[in-house]
Chains A and B, each alone.
Chain A
Amino acid sequence: DAGVIQSPRHEVTEMGQEVTLRCKPISGHDYLFWYRQTMMRGLELLIYFNNNVPIDDSGMPEDRFSAKMPNASFSTLKIQPSEPRDSAVYFCASRGLAADTQYFGPGTRLTVL
């Protein structure tokens, strides 16, 4: 299995631009999670989906952030408009229904200038 796949691995953009991060979970996994990691706040859960349905988005910082999961093999996290304080590493993770462990992707390092 290829594991969780994220793209792009690095993204540099200017303030005000729209940013879209992509994630392909492990095939067969029912849960998908988006996390953000910063030096100041560490790793934080932003949102998670079960069977493509958003279950808890209480960690999404602002309305500028949105996430979708149109099918079982693809999810996006969009920031519009982006701000310098959004600079962070964004991780996607997935979990099977019967498993306790989440499997993390390599992350997308976002820099907003």
Chain B
Amino acid sequence: KQEVTQIPAALSVPEGENLVLNCSFTDSAIYNLQWFRQDPGKGLTSLLLIQSSQREQTSGRLNASLDKSSGRSTLYIAASQPGDSATYLCAVTMEYGNKLVFGAGTILRVKS
């Protein structure tokens, strides 16, 4: 059974700091990996999607890497801002676009 673990569970940083969120998974037979953002009272928004054959994806200040063989992914946020405060969820897809398995998330707070 696939298990996804995210470290740290919570993180508080001053504005402007670069930070790294970690995700690990036990079964490397994944279709893709996604990082989502969840704001209180709202749904999930997909930030980055990395196909199993890819190593990284970038969007603005966000960069996500994937090492499928070791079962690890990182989300790098550059020059953090208070607006980045949210819960970040890592999810792996076990079959085409369908069965997502989520980690417990990292609660990020960026202090101004």
Contacts and interface: CB of A to CB of B under 8 A. Distances in A.
Chains A and B are bound partners: yes
Interface of A: 4, 31, 33, 42-45, 48, 55-56, 91, 93, 95, 99-107
A55 B99 CA distance: 11
B102 A99 contact: no
Nearest to B6: A42
Given A45-B99, A91-B44, A101 B105 contact: no
Contacts of B34: 101
Interface residues of B, number: 23
Contact of A4 (B43, B49, B89): B43
Interface string B65-102: 00000000000000000000000010101001111111
Per DSSP, chain A at the interface is: strand
Given A42-B103, A42-B105, A101-B34, A31 B49 contact: no
B66 to A, nearest CB: 14
B49 A56 contact: no
A33 B102 CA distance: 14
Contacts of A4: 43
Given A4-B43, A100-B93, A107-B43, A56 B100 contact: no
Nearest to A50: B98
B99 A104 contact: no
Interface in B40-72: 41-46, 49, 51
